[in-house]
């Protein structure tokens, strides 16, 4: 269930998703805290939305009462139903920031609450967002095709495992302050090439000596075959060393961290 995150450039245990809003991956060590974060921010946006609508309502009521008092003093009895659009326009014109904030937070509340309920569902069935979106397991698929989820131990046990178990320790190194030589891979590659070239030169000298001592043509043919095989092995060794050194160099330059 682990996965390498291209954004964080690390391997994440029980990878759920990479959240750009918190700037981190959600996995085995912080999924519970992310769920608490969703609950709190959903409650906050709901509170702000309700507060904004309450301010708008109280402002409209005050304006309506003021109009009624003014009409009473003037001796007029107007129908207040026809004044509802005027009252609404007046309230919005007086409180434009509150009005637009209420609309914005209402949309945020709907989105965040839906996300919170979605994570509640995947916790109930012991899945991750990555597994749910990809339809890895049979649960949740209409065709009934898929794998059985070995992590699913029932609703109560799944919630207990998510919030009441010990958080696993991080396998990343604790100290990232060590200076890394980015040219180490290139030097290893050059050394491998020089070593392979030296071996090839020695093999060539040995083959020349054997060719002078050999008399029969059959023995000469066998020596030529051996020489070609040795050269081919040396060339393949050089290429393999180059690829390995290049991979090490690119991983160091890009700052790739491998986690077991």
Please give the positions annotated as active site: 19
Q: Which of 41, 9, 1 is nearest to 25 (CA)?
A: 9
Cβ–Cβ < 8 Å for 186, 192: no
Q: Which of 64, 121, 115, 54 is nearest to 89 (CA)?
A: 64
Q: Which of 203, 196, 123, 188 is nearest to 161 (CA)?
A: 123
What is the Cα–Cα distance from 43 to 105, expressed in whole angstroms? 11
Residue 69: half-sphere exposure toward Cβ, Cα within 13 Å: 6
Sign, CA torsion 21/136/259/174? positive
Cβ–Cβ < 8 Å for 186, 247: no
- Reported as type and span, the H/E element at residue 186 is helix 184-213
């Amino acid at each position: 269930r682990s996965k390498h995150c291209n954004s964080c450039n690390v391997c994440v245990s029980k990878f759920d998703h990479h959240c750009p809003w918190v700037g981190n991956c959600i996995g085995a060590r912080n999924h519970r805290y992310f769920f608490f974060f969703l609950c709190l921010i959903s409650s906050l946006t709901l509170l702000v939305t309700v507060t904004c609508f309450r301010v708008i309502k109280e402002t409209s009521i005050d304006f309506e009462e003021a109009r009624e008092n003014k009409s009473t003093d003037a001796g007029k009895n107007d129908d207040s139903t026809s004044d509802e659009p005027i009252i609404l326009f007046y309230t919005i014109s007086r409180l434009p920031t509150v009005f637009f904030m209420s609309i914005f937070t209402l949309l945020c509340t709907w989105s965040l609450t839906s996300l919170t309920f979605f994570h509640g569902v995947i916790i109930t069935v012991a899945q991750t967002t990555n597994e749910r979106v990809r339809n890895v397991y049979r649960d949740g698929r209409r065709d009934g095709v898929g794998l059985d989820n070995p992590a699913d131990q029932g609703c109560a046990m799944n919630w207990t495992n998510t919030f009441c178990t010990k958080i696993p320790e991080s396998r990343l190194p604790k100290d990232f302050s060590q200076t890394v030589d980015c040219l180490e891979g290139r030097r290893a590659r050059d050394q491998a090439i020089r070593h392979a070239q030296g071996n090839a030169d020695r093999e060539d000298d040995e083959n020349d000596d054997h060719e002078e001592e050999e008399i029969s043509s059959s023995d000469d043919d066998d020596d030529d075959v051996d020489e070609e095989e040795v050269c081919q092995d040396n060339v393949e060794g050089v290429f393999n060393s180059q690829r390995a050194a290049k991979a090490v160099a690119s991983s160091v330059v890009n700052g790739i961290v491998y986690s077991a």
